[in-house]
Amino acid sequence: MRSLTRPEEVTLTINNEPREVIIYPGETLLYTLRGDALGLTGAKPGCENGDCGACTVLIDNIPTKSCLMLTVEVEDHSITTVEGLKHAPIQEAFLSQSAFQCGYCTSGFLMVGHALSLQGAADQGRLVEWLRSNICRCTSYQEICDAVQSVVRSEVE
């Protein structure tokens, strides 16, 4: 039986790399990612209850709010954070559409957009549905939707 309170070492697959970290069983994935050991601060706390999406990462390529997930739940899954995007088309699209201002929501939106682009074709309804999970207080969303649309469409073509 695993302890419910004692720290333990787990191996996580983050951005295609195995990483050993010591965690508390009650720790959220957001907390683990941002902690000193991993230092992946691209995922941001904005509400820590699933409302804002600033903490979004991909678990097996599905956008997931890392504030709602315990680290122990994702041991056998593949985690992608914004730091793991290497010249992904969504990043270029965000740059060319100016799809951010303060940038605090950006990692989260990038991850949703990236996941959508991996899904191949997505219609407008799907795009809206996926992007509704996140909040941006600075932009008009038009820029973000245009950026995401551009990478989703390029998958179709």
- Binding-site string for ligand FES from residue 45 to residue 84, where x marks contact by CB under 6 A and - marks none: xxxx-xxxxxx---------x-x-----------------
Crossing angle between the packed helical segments 142-156 and 106-118, to the nearest 10 degrees = 20
Toward other proteins, which CB reaches closer, 3 or 76? 3
CB of 18 to ligand FES, least distance (A): 25
Residue 19, judged by CB atoms within 10 A of its CB (0-12, 13-18, 19+), counts as middle
Contact of residue 67 among ligand FES, other proteins, none (CB under 5-8 Å per partner type): ligand FES
Residue 78's DSSP bridge partners are 13
Q: Which of 58, 136, 151, 152 binds other proteins (CB under 8 A)?
A: 136
Residue 131 contacts residue 83 (beta carbons within 8 Å):
no
Asked if residue 32 binds other proteins (CB under 8 A), the reply is no
Asked if residue 22 binds other proteins (CB under 8 A), the reply is no
End-to-end alpha carbon distance in the chain: 51
Toward ligand FES, which CB reaches closer, 35 or 155? 35
69-87 per-residue burial string, b: 16 or more CB within 10 A, e: under 16: bbbbebeeeebbbbbbbee
Write out the two tokens for 104.
């605090």
Asked if residue 51 binds other proteins (CB under 8 A), the reply is yes
- Binding-site string for ligand FES from residue 92 to residue 131, where x marks contact by CB under 6 A and - marks none: --------xxxxxxx-------------------------
